[in-house]
């Protein structure tokens, strides 16, 4: 009986770990998507503030920092 409980607990732990890893992957993809959307919006915002002048999004002073996802091992 105890052996069955151990196997169930191990299976539950593996399922929980897989779920957590999927959630982390989803969150990382959402962060990348949000970063892309923000970078795409920057020239439009600049155009609105300064008509006739384009913002160079490749310039280091005009880009968002990279956001990294850290996962404890």
Structure tokens at 50: 């300064």
Q: What is the pLDDT of residue 41?
A: 86
Alpha-carbon span 23 to 62, nearest angstrom: 31
Tens of pLDDT, residue by residue over 14-30, are 999 999 999 999 999 99
The pLDDT tens digits along the chain (73 residues) read 788 899 999 999 999 999 999 999 999 999 999 999 999 888 877 666 666 555 555 555 554 445 554 545 4
Nearest of 22, 56, 18, 17 to residue 39 by alpha carbon: 56
Distances (CA, A) of 61 to 4, 54, 57, 64: 59, 14, 8, 9
Alpha-carbon span 61 to 38, nearest angstrom: 15
């Amino acid at each position: 009986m105890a052996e069955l409980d151990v196997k169930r607990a191990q299976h539950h732990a593996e399922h929980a770990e897989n779920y957590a890893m999927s959630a982390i992957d989803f969150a990382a993809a959402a962060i990348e998507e949000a970063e892309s959307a923000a970078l795409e919006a920057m020239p439009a915002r600049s155009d609105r503030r300064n008509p006739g002048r384009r913002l160079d999004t490749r310039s280091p002073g005009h880009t968002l920092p990279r956001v990294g996802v850290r996962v404890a091992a």
